[in-house]
Amino acid sequence: MAEGLAGSQETDFLSVAVREGMLEESQAEKIRSDSERTGVSASALCIESGLMQPIQADVVSGLLEPEDVAPGHRVTGLLGHGGLGIVYRAYQEKLDRTVALKTIPIHRIESTTAVGRFQQEARAIGRLKHPNIVAAYDFGTHRERLYLSMELVEGIDLDDQIKLDGRMDEVTAWALAEQVAAGLAHADSHGIVHRDIKPANLLLTEAPAGYPLPPGVPLVKVSDFGLVQLDAGSEERARLTVSGTSMGTPHYMAPEQISDPSVGREADIYALGATVFHMISGAPPFPGKTMGQVLSAKLQGSDAWGNALPVGVSDASIGLLRDMLAKDPAERVSNYETLLERIRAVRPAASSAVAAGKDLGEMETLDSISIDTDVATEAAGLPKKTQPSLRFVLLGLVALVCFGVAGGALLSLGRTPAPRLTRTAVYTSLFNGQDLNDWTAERGRWSTFKDDMGSGAMRGKGSIVRMIELAGMSAERPCFGVSLGVGLKEAESFELHFGHEDYSNRALPRSVLRVDREGVQLGTRPAKDGDFSAVSALIPWEESPDEAEGYLAVGFEAQPGEWLALVDGKAAASMPRDATANAPVVQLVVQGGEAAAVDVEAYLLGPKP
């Protein structure tokens, strides 16, 4: 947004920021006072002080000017925002309907490629008219914003549905898959390949009255065609696709997509097979401990995923999954007509298996995992919120890290903590993969780069800090978690500092999760540069950082009364949490050379459902 707002809009800016939970009243009053004293706009002061992210200032700007975000639309509320884009609820006046309005402030875009991809998304989905695809209504540029007006789907995505209610029976899974296949068949008839089919991109909503669906089965709508590939003759595709970049989500992408972005419908069929597997089993088919393991299993054509299916899944389902997940595209189900026929043919055997209750047995996993009943969910625990871009996946079982729960022994301090909370569907990416505008570098040098997967990562040495904003987080005692992938590279150690109220005050004590070449320890420092005092025993790595492929998965959670350390998806250690340590902040501190980080994410904790 522009540098500040004139006149009384300064007060309006702060009022909206407080109303939307981005600022506390006391913070707004201080910013208001500082703005009057210095003449610097309230919005600029909020960003400079780290109280708000630049994208949040853009959100407030849109809410302050609801009639001027996109022509013919009036913003009525906020649906969400990420590192780059914002999605508003809006009213489209001419057609008298409520829509989802996606916007990207142009000043946040570093290259014309990003603009082109946004326009590509709009044009691609604008060509599609199908009940199982989210409809696009309008797009354009206005007041230095790109905007896309889309169908507003009231409901939940499949990823969250699995996390809330657990894995699904075969019949339901294939009923949902049939709808997705029908939508993709329509896209295929227009020469469009989605390239990022996964549970998070499948929206579940109530079907209109009389719509032909089995009882209890929701209507599925495929969303986010932002990674589509237009037909092979498109010159625009060649300009917009970066050579060597594999667009998609590794757990679901087809093996050929890893090295070649020019994939066809077979890649979407593979991804749909991986999604069906996730519905039936509760986890993706290749839950390796490192990204290298996941990709290696795909490239080798491993069928070990069959061992992770629940006992009693019908042979018909396993056979179709095998034909959808074949390594070689030529051996895969090759078209949607055949796929839809195969899905319908599976139904009798799947129905018989469900009726017999065979698929309700305990889930068999690829690895032997010990579950600590104090921190785990039910025995067949399922993933909570997996972030759309969680690439490194260094987990023994993806389900556990996404829940923020653990397998293995928990190191405690001889006390009885309050009941633990679990991960909710509220999350935010703390790094958009493109820039560090929302971070404050205290010292050292930090930058972004493309890692071996062609995705954005951050690296540096010294320290960098980020405030955490999550809808619904209590100011009195915020309960949240932070997860990320750490690549030690040349560094001696990589530390997460948290629990201190003012990151700019180096003298304040803080809690510390320390990562070095020996392993991980939870501890404290009396000041930022004070001596590290370990609270937990050393948690050694199964593979050394030099041997591990990809990144090491770590994180922490601010639970009621305790800090909980997560290592490779397991709750590995805990220590008391001071009742006054409520500042939602994370500081990355790197010593002895550069280190890297990917998929830095924060999420809200709440009661177990």
Q: What's the pLDDT at 358?
A: 45
Q: How confident is the model at residue 170 (pLDDT cuts 50, 70, 90)?
A: very high
Q: What's the pLDDT at 441?
A: 81
Q: Which residue has the tokens 């690895």?
A: 367
Average pLDDT over residues 439-464: 82
Provide the 3-class DSSP secondary structure of residue 99: strand
Q: Is residue 19's pLDDT more than 80?
A: yes
Least confident piece of the model among 22-26, 247-251, 440-444: 247-251
Q: Confirm if 317 and 346 have CB atoms less than 8 A apart.
A: yes
- Residue 585 makes CB contacts below 8 A (sequence gap 6+) with 465, 466, 467, 468, 498, 500, 503
Q: What's the pLDDT at 547?
A: 56
Q: Is residue 236's pLDDT more than 70?
A: no
Q: Check residue 5 and give left, alpha or beta (phi > 0: left; psi -120 to 50: alpha).
A: beta
Helices H / strands E in the chain, number of each: 13, 21
Exposed (0-12), middle (13-18) or buried (19+): which is 65, by Cβ within 10 Å? middle
Q: How many CB atoms lie within 10 A of CB 61?
A: 22
Average pLDDT over residues 246-262: 70
What angle (nearest 5°) sits at the alpha carbon of residue 495, between those of residues 494 and 496?
135
Distance (Å, whole) CA 142 – CA 139: 10
What angle (nearest 5°) sits at the alpha carbon of residue 466, between those of residues 111 and 532?
135
Q: Check residue 30 and give left, alpha or beta (phi > 0: left; psi -120 to 50: alpha).
A: alpha
Average pLDDT over residues 551-579: 85
Q: How many CB atoms lie within 10 A of CB 33?
A: 10
Average pLDDT over residues 307-331: 88
Looking at the chain, the whole-number percentage of residues with pLDDT higher than 90 is: 31
Q: Confirm if 354 and 171 have CB atoms less than 8 A apart.
A: yes
Least confident piece of the model among 43-57, 158-172, 418-432: 418-432
Average pLDDT over residues 282-293: 66
| Residue 168 phi, psi (nearest 5) | -110, 160
Q: What's the pLDDT at 432?
A: 79
Q: Is residue 120's pLDDT more than 80?
A: no
Distance (Å, whole) CA 598 – CA 164: 26
Q: What's the pLDDT at 58?
A: 87
Average pLDDT over residues 81-101: 86
- CA-to-CA dists, residue 201 to 47, 90, 426, angstroms: 31, 21, 16
Average pLDDT over residues 249-263: 75
Average pLDDT over residues 297-311: 66
Looking at the chain, the whole-number percentage of residues with pLDDT higher than 70 is: 73
Q: Is residue 392's pLDDT more than 50?
A: no
Q: Which of 385, 389, 421, 410 has the alpha carbon at shortest distance from 400?
A: 385
Which tokens belong to 195?
């390239």
Q: Is residue 191's pLDDT more than 50?
A: yes
Long-range contacts of 244-249 (CB under 8 A, 24+ apart): 244/454, 245/454, 246/453, 246/454, 247/195, 247/196, 248/195, 248/196, 249/196, 249/198, 249/388, 249/389, 249/391
- CA-to-CA dists, residue 5 to 37, 42, 44, 56, 387, angstroms: 16, 8, 10, 15, 34
Query: What are 163's strand-pairing partners?
Result: none
Q: Is residue 67's pLDDT more than 90?
A: yes
Q: What's the pLDDT at 387?
A: 31
Q: What's the pLDDT at 393?
A: 27
Q: Is residue 583's pLDDT more than 60?
A: yes
Distance (Å, whole) CA 12 – CA 208: 40
Q: What ranges make up the beta strands (E) of 317-430?
A: 422-429
Of the two residues 409 and 2, the one the predictor is more confident about is 2
Q: Angle, nearest 10°, between helix axes 9-19 and 54-64? A: 110
Average pLDDT over residues 460-487: 85
Of the two residues 557 and 388, the one the predictor is more confident about is 557
Average pLDDT, the chain: 77
Average pLDDT over residues 399-412: 27
Q: Confirm if 69 and 93 have CB atoms less than 8 A apart.
A: no
Q: Is residue 300's pLDDT more than 80?
A: no
Q: Is residue 403's pLDDT more than 70?
A: no
Q: How confident is the model at residue 450 (pLDDT cuts 50, 70, 90)?
A: confident
Q: What's the pLDDT at 260?
A: 67
pLDDT per position as a tens digit, 331-368: 999 999 999 999 999 988 878 877 776 444 333 322 22
Least confident piece of the model among 121-125, 383-387, 503-507: 383-387
Q: Confirm if 280 and 316 have CB atoms less than 8 A apart.
A: no
Q: Angle, nearest 10°, between helix axes 170-189 and 336-356? A: 170
Q: How confident is the model at residue 235 (pLDDT cuts 50, 70, 90)?
A: very low
Q: What's the pLDDT at 388?
A: 30
pLDDT per position as a tens digit, 192-224: 888 889 998 999 999 988 888 888 899 999 988
pLDDT per position as a tens digit, 478-534: 889 999 989 888 899 999 999 887 777 778 888 999 999 888 999 999 888 888 998
Cα-Cα end-to-end distance for the chain: 39
Q: Is residue 269's pLDDT more than 90?
A: yes
Q: What's the pLDDT at 292?
A: 55
